[in-house]
Amino acid sequence: MDLSQALQMVSRSDAGMVRSHNEDAVFINAPMGLAILADGMGGYNAGEVASGMATTLLGTELEKAFQKTAPHQQEASGKLHSHVVLEAEIARANTAIYQAAQSQPQYAGMGTTLVTAVFYDNMMTVAHIGDSRLYRLRGGEFQAITRDHSLLQEQIDSGMITAEEARHSQNKNLVTRALGVDPVVEPEIRDYDTMPGDVYLLCSDGLNDMVEDEEIALTLQALSANLELAATQLVQTANDSGGRDNVSVVLVRISREYPAARSWWARLLQWFR
């Protein structure tokens, strides 16, 4: 099913003003409703390798899997196909990165954050690991959908520090989960309904560390009619504020509904559920 009429997607990835390498990687496929963003870590160019492996492996494997079976189908286990595929492919990407890190000394210790959104059937499934985020702008309301897997988020949750103080913390860069650093990884996978008019933002911490949420919201509200410009503007704002880290964004706008095509008996079954 081609979603390019219902979804508009753009992406930008920039090294920023300070770093020489861009260790972020993005992958988008609007017709299939796939958006993937990864922020790599590790010495030399290992971060790039990890994030590049994550987006490339996941991108191609998710494309293949969802071409074969639509993500909204339910498996015998009762789970949505999207969840089964995401779990399996994230585990595979994790193994691939982990093994590369184990076998090549120059890649030792590399890993990457990950945020992935799969759009289908008027909803999206979001999988994330680490501190790359997904935000939603719905009406005038802008909010983070994902919660970072980071030391700082744990400190906020336990009441040690407030969200405001967290902005001044020096422990911003410590994630508690990452892809490729351990033999197994536990992604957080959740479903959300989408509505026409929604704008979704996937971003690396190079954006949300440099630019306040209100500023991001204002930019998306003002420029949602022109996603390309909005994406460029977000990267530019991060760079104008110092651009201390790589900055990557993926923007997705829902322009109309996109219910999954179902056979008549499947629709009938759904009716009686």
Partner 1 sequence: MAAKLILSMDGLVLKEIPLTKERTTIGRKPHNDIQIDNLAISGEHSVIVTILNDSFLEDLNSTNGTYVNGQPIKKHFLQNSDVIELGKYKLKYLNETPSQTTAADFEKTMVLRPDLMKKTAEQTAAKAVSPTDTQVGMKAIDTHTNVAPPPQAAAPAAAPAAAQVSGAIQILTGANAGKELELTKNLTTLGKPGVQVAVITRRPHGYFITHVEGANFPVVNGATLDAHPRELKDHDVIELAGVKMEFFVKG
CA distance 130 to 147: 9
Applying CB under 8 A, which of residues 141, 157, 164, 193 lies at the interface with partner 1? Answer: 164
For helices 46-68 and 81-103, the axis angle rounded to 10 degrees is: 150
User: Which residue from 156, 153, 157 is spatially nearest to 175, judged by alpha carbons?
Assistant: 153
Contact region for partner 1 (CB under 8 A) — 7-15, 138-146, 228-236, 248-256?
A: 228-236
CA distance 210 to 156: 19
Size of the site for partner 1 (CB under 8 A): 55
Applying CB under 8 A, which of residues 178, 207, 238, 251 lies at the interface with partner 1? Answer: 178
Closer residue to partner 1 in complex, CB, 2/186:
186
Applying CB under 8 A, which of residues 162, 190, 197, 259 lies at the interface with partner 1? Answer: 162
Residue that has been written with the tokens 């930019």 in this structure: 219
Task: Determine if 154 is a binding residue for partner 1 (CB under 8 A).
Answer: yes
Q: Report how far apart the first and last C-alpha atoms of the chain are (Å, whole number).
A: 25
Cα angle 209, 248, 175 (rounded to 5 degrees) comes to 50
**Minimum distance from CB of 265 to partner 1 (Å)?**
42
Closer residue to partner 1 in complex, CB, 175/252:
175
R_g of the chain computed on alpha carbons: 18
CA distance 37 to 41: 13
Task: Determine if 138 is a binding residue for partner 1 (CB under 8 A).
Answer: no
**Minimum distance from CB of 229 to partner 1 (Å)?**
6
Contact region for partner 1 (CB under 8 A) — 62-70, 72-80, 118-126, 234-242?
A: 234-242
Cα angle 250, 255, 260 (rounded to 5 degrees) comes to 95
Closer residue to partner 1 in complex, CB, 122/236:
236
Closer residue to partner 1 in complex, CB, 161/266:
161
Assigned token pair, 40: 């790599």
Closer residue to partner 1 in complex, CB, 43/259:
43
Site residues (CB under 8 A) for partner 1, limited to 100-119:
108-109, 111, 113
Cβ proximity of 251 and 9 under 8 Å:
yes
Applying CB under 8 A, which of residues 42, 52, 71, 187 lies at the interface with partner 1? Answer: 42
**Minimum distance from CB of 203 to partner 1 (Å)?**
14
Task: Determine if 187 is a binding residue for partner 1 (CB under 8 A).
Answer: no
CA distance 216 to 190: 23
Going by the DSSP 8-state scheme, the letter that residue 261 receives in this structure is P
Burial of 126 by CB count in 10 Å (0-12 exposed, 13-18 middle, 19+ buried)?
A: buried
Question: Using CB under 8 A as the criterion, which residues of the chain lie in contact with partner 1 when the complex forms?
Answer: 18-19, 39, 41-44, 108-109, 111, 113, 130-131, 151, 154-155, 158-162, 164-165, 167-178, 181-182, 205, 209, 215, 218-219, 222-223, 225-226, 229, 233, 236-237, 240-242, 244-245
